[in-house]
A and B are shown apart, each in its own frame.
Chain A
């Protein structure tokens, strides 16, 4: 479906290779080179054939191997997603629990209100705000970019990751916080926690030993979804921070109708999202013996 949708876009991948002044013959040669002069079904058969051999092909425009280029971009996008995720967790879990446990206190309510605000802010806008504050005004952190030598220049690479990770983490953390809070409230009102306390556990002890584990199950399934959407949301953030990741590769490829690159990025992204969902499932089962039992019963 993706294949057809892409080709329904007006334009031609050959155009990215040509400029004003190109002759008719040059246009025809460029279209033959990228195959856009072929009927759609011929293009589709070629595409499926390559995919079956796990060959993502070479870019129409750069002539580089799609898989190789995705690898180059992954070294930016994966750490960015990971750090963003860490920030979100570090923010959402403690604050979410506090917001639930202390929902009767002013700061519990304040956390809830601020998290609502966080959800409402577009991620690119937050990125621009952070750049203005930390790069332009305070001069603490770079406004964007990734070092030419990549992670070999570790200091520069990691400082370049701070602001974009923070941006992703704040926005993602805000929505995650609400789930953590809801899950904690559920746990607080549960029978098992009351029983634990009745058996002599202090409130924090009961919460940590029984509450967190129970609350984690719904939160982890949300985490899986959030992690996947962070990964895809990197498109916007990479542009704001001029990071050479998968997102910027995808964006450029769409502009240029560079089909092999578009298909390659989407194929790998889908694969990753499925893997994350799978991993979240497994972790849930590890935490909750009831789910394991169900799995076995089904099997």
Chain B
């Protein structure tokens, strides 16, 4: 899909749009920070022994009462907010990426099958997709999360929270991809080269994966980029409502939920910084995704 020259083209094109370039730079920075959190973060919020209750509720270091050790202040447990943010960003991004990967995998497989096999398999899959489309993804994720949680023993829910959220988001989003892939497959399947390789006796799987799939990937890639932003937002919303990531492994949404309680009491930093990071992250993903869509898939414009 993207050879080296293709990639270089994209980069040159990006350079002509400062907003996109800026967004891409910010996104890159955020991803690096998230990936490097274990090395860069001033402290590890999951290392409970390092927390000191007497350092709790400190404001950012430049404010009155701030402490130089805690640049952005501390939360109610005395955890460094900057470190919490870096790890939270890491969690949000990981959940978003994995959830989209899951949606893409499910959607790609089912879409390929539906588009290639047609017949009853097609009907079944696309009906299921239609049905799922009638329900908003956010509510669906809430339901799937609730169901998955309730099927686990009480003591394991905390550890499983991460996977439950990924599963809930992933399942609630696959139909978009399935529809897209199916349409692409149907249009590709009619083309001469597929006919030719079919006549030459290639197996179905070979045709699907060697020919049809690579040619349907572009729109999927674009949609997946946009979907990452959506998944991150949905995860944050779930966590804000208290049905997503728990406070012991907080995502940005969890940090906002916890911080919301302090909004009126003057400890604004506990909620303001996570909100800022979340919005920055989603905006930059969306700007880059939007641009990619314009470049790669003019049909969707």
Genuine A/B complex:
no
A interface residues (Cβ-Cβ under 8 A, vs B): none
B interface residues (Cβ-Cβ under 8 A, vs A): none
